[in-house]
Amino acid sequence: MLYLLYFLLFATFVTKWLYFPFKRIKLHNILRSFNKQMKSPIANEVRESIITNRKAYHDYHIEDQFIAGIVLTGTEVKSLREKKVSFLDAYCYLSESNEVLLKNMHINEYSHGTYNNHVPNRVRKLLMQKKEIRKIRRQLEEKGFTLIPLQLFFNQKNLVKVLIGLAKGKKLYDKREDSKEKDAKREIDRRDKY
């Protein structure tokens, strides 16, 4: 992979265009897509997305993202397969024993569950490496940072994972700027389409 990147960088200095069979593609477009894939920690993980916290992207600037496993019972996983989950006021926090916990995530009871059904609003433990937890703790000690769940998904091995983000709250004028940028981008895309 690294050799490919070195080759592509070398090719930028030698030529401005790379010729592929049947297509002519600008090299900087290839590098841009390569960088996008490398930046996202979730790019190669997701097999099936369960739920995305779209409101989090509206209310927060996401500084960093982490993928964590989650401790669930059997009926919780079955409810997740039916997509009976809500992130409405969910947030993560660090406990005194250096564990990351997820609070206020509501998973409905399994429809075919018996007396062994789970409690819908319990605190759930997230599974992360110590190095990541130390990094999160340092960031959370700074003023204004919070830890929020961004996405819940099944990975390639059918395990439930949570994408959590280290985020700072947006001010009202930040939200206005973001909406202006989205509108401008949408207008440009519309113009390019026709």
Encode pLDDT of 32-48 as tens digits.
555 444 455 565 677 78
Nearest Cα to Cα of residue 122 among 108, 112, 111: 108
Q: Which residues pair with 70 in a beta bridge?
A: 126
Please give the Cα distance from 93 to 146 (Å, whole number): 8
Query: In this predicted structure, what is the pLDDT of residue 150?
Result: 92
Please tell me the predicted confidence (pLDDT) of residue 26: 52
pLDDT beyond 60 at 17 = no
Cβ–Cβ under 8 Å, residues 170 and 180: no
Phi–psi pair at 16, nearest 5 degrees: -95, -15
**pLDDT tier for residue 11 given thresholds of 50, 70 and 90:** low
Closest by CA position to 63, among listed 173, 139, 175: 139
**Residue 162 clears pLDDT 80, i.e. is over it:** yes
| H-state helical runs in the chain | 2-14, 27-39, 54-59, 74-81, 130-141, 172-193
Query: What is the full DSSP assignment across 10-66?
Result: HHHHH-SEEEETTEEEEHHHHHHHHHHHHH-TTTTTEEEEEEE-HHHHHHEEEEEEE
Q: Please, what are the domains in the chain? A: 1-39 (no CATH), 46-171 (2.40.280.10)
Distance CA 162, CA 112 (A): 25
Q: What is the pLDDT of residues 81-116, one digit of tens each?
A: 888 888 888 889 999 998 999 999 988 888 887 788
Phi and psi at 185, nearest 5°, equal -65, -40
